[in-house]
Amino acid sequence: MGEQRAARLMDMPGMPVEGEPMQSFTGTPLVPGRTAGPVLWSDTGLSFMGGVDPVTGTIIDTHHPLHGRSVAGRVLVLPSGRGSCSGSLALFELLMNGHAPRALIFRHPETILTLGVVIAAELFDRAIPVLRVGSEGFAALADFARIRIDEAEIMPDDGPDAAPEAWLPPLDADALALTEADRAMLDGAEGEAARVASRIVARAALLEGADSLIDIEMAHLDGCFYHGPASLDFARRMRDLGARCRVPTTTNALCVDRRRWRDDGVPGALGTASEELAALYVEMGVAPSFTCAPYHLETTPAFGQQIAWAESNAVVYANSVLGARTLKYPDYLDLMVAITGRAPNAGCHLGEGRLARLRIDVPCPDAPDDAFWPLLGYHVGKIATNAIPVVCGLETLPATPDDLRAFGAAFATTSAAAMFHIQGLTPEAETIAQATGPAGPDAHVAVTLADLAATWAELNGAGTDAVDLVSLGNPHFSPGEFARLAALCEGRRIAEGVEMIVTCGRDVHALAAAEGHLARIEAFGARVLTDTCWCFIGEPVVPPKAKVILTNSGKYAHYGPAAVGRGFRFASLAVCVEAACTGRVAPGLPGWLRA
């Protein structure tokens, strides 16, 4: 039943009505509604978290073709979202403050942003129409200046704007093979929070094309950071409804280091809001782990274990490297799954949902440094925007778990896919047989060193060799990275006027202290922060005088320019340490990247 529903969602939308030129066509309403207004169209996916200002709706992603435009009041037409699981949280914020798009239209399945609308509708009666269209309709919308949406019908329109009117359709619980316990929860037998959560989980299952729910054994919540007043409204509402997590659940990084934010000069409004938000989640039974790298905790999931993780880098690492099974859970849906212990039986929870559909052949460079892996991950994500790829050609290249983690974090920044495979390096990469079998891959792409050099230039946009701040720990630093950094810093001292800041989880921080790594790094002159992550750090932790930031993170090299308004350089860990000592980073390509 689930496969048939998924097939219908793929085949239905976007067929034009007879007659030329195209006057109207139909889509599949995911959240039905009506509206009219100007079209904002792009053939590049957009992450609302880190890509859209949550207060104004302006697109701040400097790498996106719509940079500088506003989504507010527009019918936003995209192939899909991409990047962060927090897109749902960011869209929820815009819905609550009145700066959301007038409607959303997607070409590909898009659960993260759609769930942002569903959750706002269920809890606060705020919604906009969301539709899916086929390839022909999507292409046609590029030529429409304005459109009118009337449930499934999309038509060009030269009339006045019409405020969005949208509603959730009746929940078709009978379309899912629910257990008696599921139905009791839907009927309120477990309390109001569980009733609301189970409704949202069921709606998510239908959107994913699932025909049933499964038990999950653990969860990791991404949406515990303060992104605006709506994030507090959501957590308070769920706490007041009596929400409690029924499976072991951990929390992602916050906007502040809870142990030192006052000393760091963080504004009181942000610090106190972050404290309250963290406390609300702890009240709901969430462990105060505050890390974007939950795979470093003692609760690391096992191969084949069914889990519900949000945070894009954690999702792709869990699926791809650990072999655990999780969807790319949208923020707030992750909490609903933790409350119910039930999840959609779809996507990467299923064996067939984990198969590679795109083969990417890459050159194996001669003795690359660790910058190769995030660079390649970022580039592969731009190719495999919506399909799970299998990367071939690196079978003879050794890779550490940290290398694969860096690849995955950068990949998850530019792709909407929930996992990847690398032949010879990841545990399920034998899916290359299915990817190249009778069904065939969606595409077969060959990458060259020249392609990677162009992406290197994209991540090194500062235009100067001077470095003011070295940023490490996005995702949070691992024990192995602390050991390597301490060795690189041994007997050296950071240059005057340069700062180095490392972020990590509390557990890893304690381990690094116990092993003596922390003392050597701090003697070098670096600062180490816990609880927070570079995705959320701004001034004054980022020094106001700093103009150029050097990082070894492909993820932060992408999000950083929009987040903090600085120029960025990208390089290996060793180059980062050398630059911290000299205040400069060598221009040009690394030797292994020169053709």
Catalytic machinery residues? 84
Phi and psi at residue 427, in whole multiples of 5°? Answer: -70, -20
CB 461 within 8 A of CB 547: no
Token pair, residue 579, equals: 């630059």
| Residue 6 host element (H or E) | helix 2-11
Secondary structure of 63-102 in the HEC alphabet?
Answer: CCCCCCCECCCCEEEECCECCCCCHHHHHHHHHHHCCCCC
Record the tokens describing residue 245, joined without a space: 């997590």
CA angle 32, 36, 39 (to 5 degrees): 100
State the sign of the Cα–Cα–Cα–Cα dihedral 580, 585, 586, 590. Answer: positive
**For the CA atoms of 357, 360, 364, 368, what is the dihedral angle to 10 degrees?**
-80
* Nearest CA among 528, 475, 477, 483 for reference residue 501: 528
First vs last C-alpha separation in the chain = 51
* Pairing of the two strands 469-472 and 548-551: parallel
Count of other CB atoms within 10 angstroms of residue 586: 12
6: Cα separation from own chain's centroid: 23
Largest CA distance in the chain: 76
Residue with tokens 């996507």: 347
Cβ proximity of 308 and 338 under 8 Å: yes
DSSP label of 70: B
Contacting residues for 592 by C-beta, under 8 A, at least 6 apart: 365, 366, 367, 368, 369, 372
Spatial separation of the C-alpha atoms in residues 59 and 47, rounded to whole Å: 9
| Number of Cβ within a 10 Å radius of residue 159 | 9
Residues constituting the chain: 595
The residues pairing with 70 across neighbouring beta strands, listed in sequence order, are 58
CA 205-210-213 angle, to 5 degrees, is 70
Q: Which residues pair with 162 in a beta bridge?
A: 36
